[in-house]
Chains A and B, each alone.
Chain A
Amino acid sequence: MTVYSKLSVLLFSVCMLCGIFMNNAALASKTDNAVSLVNELLEEVSNIQKTEVSMEQRRAEFLKLIYAYFDITIIAKASTGPYWRAATSDEKEHYTKLISELIADVTSSQLGEIDNFSFDFQSSIPKGDKMVMVSGNLLVPNQSITKISVKWRVSTPNSDIAKIIDIEFENISMLVTQKQENIAIIRKNAGSFPALIEAIEGKLRK
C-alpha cells in the first residue's frame, strides 16, 4: 500500500467517525430540546393553573401556549387525513385557527382546578430523524387517578426547532382520536370539509 493509499484510508475513517459523531450529537441535541420543551410547557401550565383567573382568561393563556409550543399546522394536517388536500386554503386556515381554540378549550376544562402536579420523566427516544418521543408519568396527588402515563411526540425537523405534535395519555393519542372524529363528521356529510368547520364552531359556541 502506498503512502497515498494509506492517507486516503485514514482520511476516509476520520470522515466516517466525524459523521457518526455529528449525527449522534445532532440526535442528542434533538432529544435534549424535546425534553426541555416538555418541561418548559408543563411549568407554564402549572403557573397558569396557580394563578386565579377566569375560565375565559385561562383559555386565552392556553391558546398562547398552543401557538408557542405546538406545531399547529402539522396537527391540522394530520387530524384531517386525506381531506386536508381537498380543502381550500381559506378552509385550511380557518380550521387551523379553530383546532387551536378547541385544544385550548378542552385543556382548560379538563385541567379544571388542578394546580398541583409534577412530571416524572422516564425516557426520550428518537423516532426516525424528525420526531422524538418523550415519556413519563404525570403525578397528580389527591385526585381519583394519581399517576397518568403520558407520551409527548415532539417534531424535531432540525436541531434548533422542537414543537409538540401529539400527546398520548394512557396510550390514547389525542391526535388519532381527533382525526377519527373529524373523518367521521366529514364522511357523514358527504366529504364536506366546511361541515367539520361548522361542527367545531358549534362545539366552541356551547
Chain B
Amino acid sequence: MKFKFMKIHQFYLPIIVCLGFILTSCSGVDKSDASYNRDPFENTNRQIYAFNDSVDTLILEPVVYGYNKAIPQSAKTAVANHVFWAGLPNTALNSGLQGKWENTALSSLHFSVNALTLGLINLVSEEEPPVSQDFGKTLSVYDVPEGPYVVLPILGGKTSRHAFGQVANMIVNPYSALEEKKAISQAVSMQPVLSTISWRAANFDIVNDIKYNSLDGYVRARSAYYQNRFGEMPSLSVQPSEADALFDDLDFEK
C-alpha cells in the first residue's frame, strides 16, 4: 500500500510555513499590556485575525450565506454527517492513544457501518455518537503543555499544542492509505473545504455575532475558543472552569 501525503500538504503547506514563521518571529506585547496571559504574541495574532476576518467577509460568509439559503436543511445535515464520518478514523486513533477504548470501538463501528452511505446518512441508532478526538487532546492527556495562543491564517486561533496536533492529524490521516484511487483522492482533497463550509454554516449566527456584535471580536473569539476547548478536554474535566474560578473569587455582597 502506497502512502501519499502530498495532497494534504499542498493544501496546508502555506499554513504550516506561516505557523513556523509566526512561532519564530512573533512580536510580543509587554506582559503588563497583554489582555490575556496565555497570549504573549497578541500583536501578531491580531494582525492575522484581521486577515482571517477579511477572508471570511469577502469569501466564506457570502458563500455560506448562499449555501444556507439554497441548500435544504436535510442536505446540510447529510454534509455535516459526512464531515463527522470522515473524521472518525482520527477519532478512533486518538481515542486509542488516550486509552478510551469504548470510544475507539464506537467510532470504528460508526465509520464501518456508515461507510455504506459515505457517512451521509447515519445508519447507527446509537443515542450518543462517538466523541470527536484529535491529536491536540491526546497530547493534553500526556501532560504536554498547551503553549501560547497562536492565530493561524485560515485555520484561526488555537493553542500551540492544538495547532501542532492539527498538523499531526493531517500527516497521520488514515485516508492517505486509500489515495491510490483517484475518486477517493479527490474526495479527500475536498475535505478541508467541505468541513470549513459545513462548520461555518452550522455556526453562521455565532461567528457573525463575534464579528459584528462584540466590543472586541478578537478577544471574544479567543475567550470562546478557550472555554469551549476546556469543556472538551478529557484531562481538564475535573478542574474548575474559568467561570467557576470567576464565581469562586466573586464577593456577592453589593
Contacts and interface: CB of A to CB of B under 8 A. Distances in A.
Interface in B201-220: 201-205, 209, 213-216, 219-220
A144 B227 contact: no
A1 interface: no
Interface string A127-163: 1001100000000001011000000010101000000
Q: How large is the interface on B (under 10, 10 to 19, 20 to 34, 35 or more residues)?
A: 35 or more
Contact of B209 (A106, A127, A179, A185): A106
Contacts of A180: 35-36, 219-220, 222-223
Nearest to A190: B33
Interface string B217-242: 00110111001101110000000011
Nearest to B221: A177
B35 A166 contact: no
A181 interface: yes
Nearest to A145: B202
Nearest to A149: B231
Interface string B13-57: 000000000000000000001011000000000000000000000
Interface in B127-178: none
Contact of B231 (A78, A171, A177, A187): A171
A110 B219 contact: no
Query: Interface of chain B, helix or strand or loop or mixed?
Result: helix
Contacts of B2: none
B246 A78 contact: yes
Nearest to B217: A181
Max chain A Cβ within 10 angstroms of own Cβ: one of B204, B205, B213, B247: B247
A7 to B, nearest CB: 41
A187 B246 CA distance: 19
A77 B220 contact: no
Nearest to A183: B35
B9 interface: no
B254 A185 contact: no
A130 B247 CA distance: 10
B250 interface: yes
Interface string A169-206: 01111011101111111011000000000011001000
Listed from nearest, the 6 A-B pairs whose CB atoms lie closest are A171-B231, A173-B243, A184-B35, A184-B219, A180-B223, A177-B223
Interface of A: 73-74, 77-78, 106, 109-110, 112, 127, 130-131, 142, 144-145, 153, 155, 157, 165-166, 168, 170-173, 175-177, 179-185, 187-188, 199-200, 203
Interface of B: 33, 35-36, 68, 73, 76, 201-205, 209, 213-216, 219-220, 222-224, 227-228, 230-232, 241-244, 246-247, 250-252, 254
